[in-house]
Structure 1
């Protein structure tokens, strides 16, 4: 009887992002380490505080990065997590709202 009882399970961790991630319109990006050549990347989703990037280049969590989206200046960021070819990045400072609007798909 003891083995057939259900054990209590801790609740799943809640989403820890500061802001909802939005789909993007312009997906081309580049990513690089400081003073290194850039690598092609694809911007997958975006908030004003961070983004998710796909690239074939090798990066690790806590790496300092420079990101460049089509039509933007370089943006300083930190890799928070890396999973295969996907990288979750946190920007050093929130990006400008005009750049955010340019890059995101707004659905009414």
Structure 2
């Protein structure tokens, strides 16, 4: 009996959001640089951030799976991988979670 009832049930939609943590929008326009390994750095703008990854905008074309170095204001370079690239945006996953102090410095407004 349960087989007959379940046959007509539609499956639940798949979750598109597969991030480990919520991405926090960056309130202030945070400057950053992005570069491939062993290449020149290019200006970028940090758009959103979690401790596991971020989204940056840059005029330079990158591809998914590119290995990158990101540098945010007041930080050391952060190793990352481009997960997706669309238009001028790059979705990046950090090799290791960034420190909470850096995360707070980039997401909190100080007045």
Q: Which bin holds the TM-score, normalised by the shorter protein?
A: 0.7 to 0.9
Which of the pair has more CA radius of gyration? 2
C-alpha separation in 1, matches of 2:46 and 2:84:
15
Structure 1 counterpart of 2:102: 99
Bigger Cα displacement from structure 2, 40-49 vs 21-30: 21-30
Structure 1 counterpart of 2:7: none
Residue in structure 2 matching 1:33, options 31, 36, 43: 36
- TM norm structure 1: 0.85
Structure 2: give runs of 5+ residues left out of the alignment: 1-9
Structure 1: give runs of 5+ residues left out of the alignment: 1-7
C-alpha separation in 2, matches of 1:11 and 1:105:
35
Bigger Cα displacement from structure 2, 85-94 vs 12-21: 12-21
Task: Please tell me whether the aligned partners of residues 29 and 47 of structure 2 are also in contact (alpha carbons under 8 angstroms).
Answer: no
Residue in structure 1 matching 2:49, options 46, 50, 53: 46
Structure 2 counterpart of 1:16: 18
Task: Please tell me whether the aligned partners of residues 63 and 79 of structure 1 are also in contact (alpha carbons under 8 angstroms).
Answer: yes
Per-residue deviation, 1:105: 3.1
- Aligned residue-pair number: 99
- TM norm structure 2: 0.83
C-alpha separation in 1, matches of 2:66 and 2:81:
6
C-alpha separation in 2, matches of 1:10 and 1:101:
36
Runs of 4+ in structure 1 deviating by more than 4 angstroms, as ranges, are: none
Per-residue deviation, 1:14: 3.8
C-alpha separation in 1, matches of 2:11 and 2:108:
38
